[in-house]
Chains A and B, each alone.
Chain A
Amino acid sequence: MIETGSTPKQGETTILWLIKIVTGPILLIVATIHLIVNHYIGSLGGLQTYSDVVKYYKAWYIPVMEGIFLVTVLAHSLIGLRGVILDLRPTAAMLKFINWAFAALGVGFSAYGLWLIIVIAGR
């Protein structure tokens, strides 16, 4: 069996867990709204066309909400996925790579998504 030494194994901390556990309930609420909007709002049920989407983004709070959704869902999913990978005992080098890759993915997709929200809200 694998050695578990008396020194704690690095890689997961209170703060990451707290982020995951706090973003969870936020996501449940925001994702439910997101889904209802996409399938229930509008004449035909949901945002069915480009103009529906643009119209939807006119109210100031919609881009804000979608922005929060974007950032929290990226954080929640990447921390969660990292947890799944940690269950499979990655090597230290592998974990280091994942840390950088996931940070880059999170920052990159946040920037890209926020840009997209600003573009749509601006039209």
Chain B
Amino acid sequence: MIYLYLTLLLPLAGTLLLALIGQQRTAGWVNLLFTIATFAASVRLALEVFAQGVLLSPGKLFYVDAFNVYLILLNALVGMTTAIFSGPYMAHELKIGRVDAGRMRLYHAMYQGFLLTMLVALSTNNLGVLWVAVEGATLATVLLVSLYRTPKSIEAGWKYFILCGVGIAQALFGTVLVYFAAERVLPGSDEALLWSVLHQRAGEMDPAVLTLAFVFLLIGYGTKVGLVPLHNWLPDAHSEGPTPMSAILSGLLLNIALYALVRFKMLIDPAIGTNLAGSMMMGFGLLSFTVAGLLLHRQQDVKRLFSYSSIEHMGLMTFAFGLGGPMATFGALLHMIVHSLTKSALFVTVGHVSHVAGSQSIEKIRGLIHTQPVIGWCFLIATVALAGFPPFGIFASEFLLFTATMKSSPWLVIPLLSGLAVAFAGLFRHMQRMVYGDAPEGQVAVKANMWPVILHLLLVLWLGISIPAVLVDWLDQATIMVVGKGVL
């Protein structure tokens, strides 16, 4: 239990401390130290959960089970590796004058604050607190998106703020409706928003209210997931903020919104009895997947490119969760991990790439392999992994997903596969021009620490070749929770 609190308190302490000293030159290191400590705590937490099973805090405020423990671990890990990248990256930004000391303080404090809100969102048992945390995550990052104070970044920040604010407000309404339905089942109880309680009684709630609630939840959290047509904030926010933020946004925040959505789906499915929620998620998933795939073809900014790819992958996961069934769900859960790892690795690489080329514009990035082979190859390999080629983990999860689709609704496979091909073409047509060929005059290598990227890619490779037993166990338990049946 202590480790759970540590996992949450460390980022809190980090936020407060860095709010004071964030402008110092050592702040990057302090940031890193806090993330390392958080990661260590989360590892101990995971071991504890592995040994003892589900963990419920005394006040029933926190609840760690197989579904969120690995996400907590993933969060802490990506938070740490991104912090490794963040230090030198932001130092470079400071040096070239894109940010000043005050903003560095904001940045570092909010980095920790962001991690805190995400960890709270994952570990909380209270659905209301979940909402508060997700909204908090928006608020923590909104100023980071406009950190550079360029007209574009301000615009992106404003859009992010308004669209997500309006969206997430719908989720609150949905939560209120769930609470309303739960109150009737558990009258006068203070526990009507506790997931651990509701999950037991889900079948008894009023289906009409829950259906209504799910629509709002879907719109609300769906906005944060980046489902088309609620996604418009996403490419802007991801492309204009500092790159470490993009890595975390894309790699983690989207996952958390999806996590919230799935938690609610788990409550709503038994009550409604039909697969209405699932169908809606499938529809949104497929639409996002297709549209994002097409949009990839028209990108001119490398970070926008990868944020659309995030939409695409989130669409795929949403589709999979909507599809239901053990295999698709297992695939989607696995996809959450591998996508996070790959995508954050890619954004970290993109950060280095933009330093090499001095620009985020795809037109200006050329000959990376020539100038700096390690960056070029990491970039290329990470994209290959992202496109779902084996032996990387994304292949495994997509394999599961497609075969599951083939089994339950074969005709949907056609748009799914054509979408995948379209998206792949969209990624690679840009990719090739950036990494291959001759470098432009005067392009020189930069100092880059690629170990976070390599670590992520190795993890993804490992997950593609063989998934460790403990993870399989968790994923399977989570699958059982989500759809009632495991794959093993």
Q: Do A and B belong to a common assembly?
A: no
